[in-house]
Chain A
């Protein structure tokens, strides 16, 4: 886990309050931390250099505000700068005035072109379009078969055609035929899935160029893997030079990559990131939100991802019941507490969950807690609660000394550990009940979450 950038910046600025201005000297350390954070997130090192220069220029000379700490102030400058760089364009596709609109998918091998083509067709269908898919990947074994399965799954038309030799002539013929077929069958968008290719493969890049002049596509989307490292600038730059990309799709964003490639690609191509892929299902394509990914790149947490992840795994009904119980009336029981822990366990490691939270404000101590809590701790707590009788779980106040001894023995822990759990439970219970009393929304609003 990376130490949080915000935390680091706060530290470097500890002594800055009271000074009038941000200067070259007093932001030097912060810029070094920022550089490391961006490099760890796979932003290309040359891009990092440019960005830091830019941010430094912006920051130096600014008055130290009273409302924000200097650390927060720099974070704000950085965030605004990066969001600005990534642009506000979201999922807008250009459509042809005279259908069919042609969307050409381009990218390296394994970036996710075929899956994305299917998702795009699904998205278009939802928007009331009639997409047609065609694969001109005559090279990779079973690539065309793959798109056929995908098309069937999303219920989109597909042009299959006859493949003769695996060469550019075949590719061009298939593309032409597919376009004619789209017109004949009343499809208004043709999505062309192409073979993955290396940006330095001249022959195959020429093939892309000839596809472009043949089809005159409204959109040429560069499909890029969010896990890409420093090389992202080279491949994106080369694809852009040869094809003038109109947009980027960033795939595999459902992993834990920080996604610095987004900045690199945008920086060298200027093409907007239009979509992100967030799962293997065909509806897992989303419009791109610059502010979200900036938080992720800078390690400032991604609350929204966390919520999505929680939603995907947590049993909603149970969670609602828990929330109701916790916030009102008698509070939640030890049994409820155990159920919640099991949900957390299902979501994955505690550390990775905590990593999605911003480590400031109300969550500032969570990281320390998470580092201390090893995952076995959850199992231990589970064992302790399992060793209680149902009555004890509902009425923790009856657990006296001899019961504690029995529970400790039953769960293979010590009385000390049982005591500790009971104390924590009582605290949490009280906390939740208090939250229920005061308006929860107001409390939340009171929590300052810089960067979100």
Chain B
């Protein structure tokens, strides 16, 4: 699973040279011709290959073409003739996008709980991610309270409760169909009274195009702010790695209504690469905080830009 994140290393420039030299010795005239034509080929075929790789990983045409244009410029300037070197430069380019400074979680006031709100469209893995996140924080010796503010989806509260039991965290809930802002209010009050370190808020999945549901998120934000200064300190947008270009629009609209501060990329244990987060970071500067790589409590890893970029080329 996780191995897909750490792939085999591309043969370096020196290896290639060595190889080329050995082969050249074998049949000088023939090999030399190959190498020369190979260099000429870098422009078209190689770039087409790289384009297919990036688009195939869901980076989208705009981001892909921008990145490749920059790469072409650099390659021209530095007179790069080697494919491995070209790939290295491309990875550098992508890394630069992914590691640009983005919004940071708001610093919490000492002695107050830190509030993490989890948002996203339906079926991306919000509740599962919350279970895993609680697990990480509990392992770190923190006290955590879960808030079941998804009062809409059938059995969402039960699902969170099972995660609560698994991770030894209490769940504050209301009846199905109740007001999410009200249960958030209760949870934050409880967290304050109990001096909990963290409150993680599960919200109902919603399509970003539903204006009334997005307004509900805004209301929840205001509720949180009233009870705990600076809350929510972190708002995580859960993004399914299989998501295509629509992910960008999701990120835009969720950021507008709920002030997203970071992304969790889930289901990265499949074959999807999750490249849309490059497009998202490029446009909105939102950093990826964690990646989900399975259904177990331990399957949440801090985002590692380097291995993520490597995985795009596997």
Q: Which of B176, B245, B247 contacts A41 (CB 8 A)?
A: B245
Q: Does B209 contact A (CB under 8 A)?
A: yes
A114 to B154, CA, bound (A): 10
A40 to B131, CA, bound (A): 34
- A229-B245 in contact (CB<8A): yes
A273 to B153, CA, bound (A): 26
Q: Which residue of A lies closest to B65 (CB)?
A: A36
- B123-A141 in contact (CB<8A): no
- B154-A153 in contact (CB<8A): yes
B255 to chain A minimum Cβ distance, whole angstroms, is 14
- B125-A110 in contact (CB<8A): yes
Q: Does B163 contact A (CB under 8 A)?
A: yes
Which residues in window 241-257 of A have CB below 8 A to B? 252, 254-257
Q: Does B235 contact A (CB under 8 A)?
A: no
Q: Does A302 contact B (CB under 8 A)?
A: no
- B244-A230 in contact (CB<8A): yes
Q: Which residue of A lies closest to B207 (CB)?
A: A255
Q: Does A100 contact B (CB under 8 A)?
A: no
A231 to B61, CA, bound (A): 16
The residues of B that contact A280 with a CB separation of less than 8 Å are 122, 152
The residues of B that contact A257 with a CB separation of less than 8 Å are 244, 246
Provide the B148-176 mask, 1 if CB < 8 A to any CB of A, else 0.
00001111101101110000000000001
- B122-A229 in contact (CB<8A): no
Interface residues on A, range: 35 or more
A108-B267, A149-B154, A252-B121 are contacts. A228–B207 as well, Cβ < 8 Å?
no
- B242-A228 in contact (CB<8A): yes
The residues of A that contact B267 with a CB separation of less than 8 Å are 108-110, 198
A108 to B272, CA, bound (A): 12
Count contacts on B: residues with CB < 8 A to the other chain.
47
The residues of B that contact A139 with a CB separation of less than 8 Å are 295
Q: Does A219 contact B (CB under 8 A)?
A: no
A333 to B249, CA, bound (A): 37
B162 to chain A minimum Cβ distance, whole angstroms, is 4
B209 to chain A minimum Cβ distance, whole angstroms, is 5
Q: Does A232 contact B (CB under 8 A)?
A: yes
A60 to B140, CA, bound (A): 65
Q: Which residue of A lies closest to B204 (CB)?
A: A280
Q: Does A145 contact B (CB under 8 A)?
A: yes
Q: Which residue of B lies closest to A111 (CB)?
A: B123
Q: Does A95 contact B (CB under 8 A)?
A: no
Q: Does B119 contact A (CB under 8 A)?
A: no
B65 to chain A minimum Cβ distance, whole angstroms, is 9
A44 to B154, CA, bound (A): 33
> Which one of B52-60, B70-78, B181-189 contacts A?
B52-60
B139 to chain A minimum Cβ distance, whole angstroms, is 19
Q: Does B138 contact A (CB under 8 A)?
A: no
- B242-A231 in contact (CB<8A): yes
- A256-B246 in contact (CB<8A): yes
Q: Which residue of A lies closest to B269 (CB)?
A: A198
A232 to B250, CA, bound (A): 19
Chain A positions within 8 Å of B, measured between CB atoms, are 36, 39-42, 44-45, 108-112, 114, 139-143, 145-150, 153, 198-200, 225, 227-232, 234-235, 252, 254-258, 260-261, 280, 346-348, 352
- Closest A-B pairs by Cβ, 3 of them: A229-B244, A110-B123, A42-B244
Residue contacts A-B, CB under 8 angstroms, 28 given:
A39-B55, A40-B61, A42-B246, A110-B240, A110-B267, A112-B122, A140-B295, A142-B162, A145-B159, A146-B153, A146-B154, A149-B154, A199-B270, A225-B243, A229-B245, A230-B57, A230-B272, A231-B241, A232-B244, A234-B272, A235-B242, A252-B121, A252-B207, A257-B246, A258-B245, A260-B244, A261-B244, A280-B152
